[in-house]
Amino acid sequence: MSLFVAFVLAALLLVPALLVAIPVHEMGHAAAAYFQGDRSVRYFGYFTLDPRRFLDPLGVIAVFIALVGWGRRVPVQPNRISTMRQRIVHQLGGPAANLVVAVALGAVLRFLTAMGLHSTLDLSVGLVGAALYAIVFLNLSIFAFQLLPIPGLDGWEVVETLFRSRNPRFFFNVSARRQQIWIGAIVILFLFQLFQGASLLALVMSPFYTPASLISLGQCSGYAIPGLTGLYPCLPLGR
3 state SS for 105-173: HHHHHHHHHHCCCCCCCCCCCHHHHHHHHHHHHHHHHHHHHHCCCCCCCHHHHHHHHHHCCCCHHHHHH
Q: Please give the DSSP secondary-structure letter assigned to residue 224.
A: E
106, 159, 165 from 149: Cα distances, Å? 27, 7, 17
Domain residue limits, the chain:
3-230
Q: Which residues, in sequence order, are CB contacts of 229 under 8 Å at separation 6+?
A: 64, 65, 66, 67
pTM, to two decimals: 0.94
What's the one-letter identity of residue 235? L
Running along the chain, 239 residues long, what does each successive block of 10 average in pLDDT?
86 96 97 93 89 94 96 91 94 98 96 86 81 97 97 96 93 94 95 92 97 96 93 76
Beta carbons of 134 and 11 less than 8 angstroms apart: no
Nearest to 142 by CA among 14, 10, 229, 7: 14
Half-sphere exposure (CA, 13 Å, Cβ side) for 51? 18
